[in-house]
Chain A
Amino acid sequence: DVKVTQSSRYLVKRTGEKVFLECVQDMDHENMFWYRQDPGLGLRLIYFSYDVKMKEKGDIPEGYSVSREKKERFSLILESASTNQTSMYLCASSLQGSYEKLFFGSGTQLSVL
Chain B
Amino acid sequence: KQEVTQIPAALSVPEGENLVLNCSFTDSAIYNLQWFRQDPGKGLTSLLLIQSSQREQTSGRLNASLDKSSGRSTLYIAASQPGDSATYLCAVDSGNTPLVFGKGTRLSVIA
Task: Give A residues with C-beta under 8 Å from B.
Answer: 4, 33, 40-43, 45, 48, 58, 88, 90, 92, 98-99, 101-107, 109
**B100 nearest in chain A by CB position:** A45
| Contact B98–A58 (Cβ < 8 Å) | yes
Q: Are A99 and B43 in contact, CB atoms less than 8 angstroms apart?
A: no
Could you count the A-B residue pairs with CB atoms below 8 Å apart for me: how many are there? 48
B40 CB to closest chain A CB, in angstroms?
Answer: 11
Given A43-B89, A104-B43: A98 and B32 interface contact (C-beta under 8 Å) = yes
**In the assembled complex, which residues on chain A have CB atoms less than 8 Å from the CB atom of B89?**
42-43
Task: Flag if B101 contacts A98 (CB, 8 Å).
Answer: no
Q: What's the interface size class on B, roughly?
A: 20 to 34
User: Cβ of B41 < 8 Å from any Cβ of A?
Assistant: yes
| Interface of chain A: mostly helix, strand, loop or mixed | strand
Secondary structure of the B contact surface, majority rule? strand
Q: Is B49 an interface residue (CB 8 A)?
A: yes
Write out the residue numbers on chain A whose beta carbons fall within 8 Å of the beta carbon of B46.
101-103
Contact with A along B42-57 (1 / 0, CB 8 A): 1111100101000000
